[in-house]
């Protein structure tokens, strides 16, 4: 079925680190700021190669946001890095007032998003960040699916004019997209074509969605898989074309239901009067995260190929 194969495994945060280093070598305006988490954000190589363009802000995320906004106003292209929980919930006021409201050219690099942070548990996990960030005017929300796509998305974010929230994670995940791909902010990628059901996913759940499509094909069901690598601005045209064709879908996201992609697409369906036969959501519901290994938590929340395939039938 699928043209994709696993080319190894690596954490998506490392794709950010590699992408940041690449854009910094090409653009002297790129600067990096981190809130006491240089190794966790994979910004060590950037700091080593460009020490004069790296700012260790300590455990002071709100101050980091303000410094970044000032640097952007001065013509720099700042990337600020921390855990997703800390650069959304902890400093939402600063992100709103100093970055989004001013439409400043700051890139928010958020690692350890969702539940796959694992053993650190609910206080460090976030299942609400997409809802928070997509609610802000001017803010683009990008959630690539593997190491290669995260690297490409980081490069695209550096070229994008305006604030970007870039979402990625800690665990090693399959690498399956092209190594030298182009990434377009605002584009949904059709990973697999099909006519019976649409499986929509982003981030860590794209690979299980592709695996689910294989399971469904073995059962005589043709599944189309969409990788919504940009949640905002949403590629309405590609999503509507698929849903109009299949009229059945399941939307998978490592995020709670409130304010997530599922609700965005539900509104899109209603606005365009698409007569759906089946519309299912697979998400974290209305709950905080838990402690456990990434694999244990993915199973606990039903984020598996087998469960996706069962829901899609």
- Catalytic positions are 61
Q: What share of the chain is helix, strand, coil (3-state, %, to 5)?
A: 40, 20, 40
CA distance 281 to 2: 23
Cis check: omega of the bond before 220, within 30 degrees of 0: no
Give strand ranges (E) for 86-177. 107-111, 140-142, 164-167, 172-174
Alpha helices (H) along 57-146: 61-73, 92-94, 129-134
- Using alpha carbons, select from 204, 228, 220 the residue that is nearest to residue 305: 204
Judged by DSSP in three states, 197 sits in: strand
CA distance 16 to 37: 14
- Using alpha carbons, select from 94, 116, 126, 141 the residue that is nearest to residue 264: 141
- Other beta carbons within 10 angstroms of residue 132's beta carbon come to 19
CA distance 61 to 269: 38
- Other beta carbons within 10 angstroms of residue 127's beta carbon come to 27
Find the Cα–Cα–Cα–Cα dihedral 130, 133, 134, 139, rounded to 10°.
-140
Tokens of 33: 């700021």
Find the Cα–Cα–Cα–Cα dihedral 226, 232, 235, 240, rounded to 10°.
80
């Amino acid at each position: 079925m699928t043209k994709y194969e696993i080319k190894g495994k690596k954490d998506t945060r490392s794709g950010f680190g590699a992408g940041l280093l690449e854009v910094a070598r090409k653009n002297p305006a790129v600067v990096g700021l981190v809130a006491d988490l240089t190794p966790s954000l994979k910004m060590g190589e950037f700091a080593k190669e460009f020490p004069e363009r790296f700012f260790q802000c300590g455990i002071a995320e709100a101050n980091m946001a303000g410094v970044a906004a000032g640097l952007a106003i001065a013509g720099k292209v700042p990337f600020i890095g921390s855990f997703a929980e800390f650069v959304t919930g902890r400093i939402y006021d600063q992100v709103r007032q100093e970055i989004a409201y001013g439409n400043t050219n700051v890139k928010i690099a958020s690692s350890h998003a969702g539940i796959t942070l694992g053993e650190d548990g609910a206080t460090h996990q976030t299942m609400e960040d997409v809802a928070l960030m997509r609610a802000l005017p001017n803010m683009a929300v990008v959630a690539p699916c593997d190491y290669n796509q995260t690297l490409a998305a980081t490069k695209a974010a550096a070229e994008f004019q305006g604030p970007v929230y870039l979402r990625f994670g800690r665990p090693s995940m399959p690498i399956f997209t092209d190594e030298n791909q182009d990434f377009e902010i605002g584009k949904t990628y059709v990973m697999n074509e099909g006519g019976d059901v649409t499986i929509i996913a982003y981030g860590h759940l794209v690979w299980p969605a592709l695996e689910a499509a294989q399971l469904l094909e073995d059962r005589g069901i043709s599944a189309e898989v969409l990788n919504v690598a940009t949640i905002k601005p949403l590629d309405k045209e590609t999503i509507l074309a698929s849903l109009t064709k299949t009229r059945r879908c399941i939307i998978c996201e490592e995020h709670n239901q409130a304010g997530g992609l599922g609700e965005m697409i539900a509104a899109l369906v209603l606005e365009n009067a698409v007569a759906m036969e089946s519309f299912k959501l697979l998400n974290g519901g209305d709950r905080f995260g838990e402690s456990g290994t990434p694999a244990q938590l993915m199973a606990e929340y039903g984020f598996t190929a087998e469960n996706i395939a069962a829901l899609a039938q």
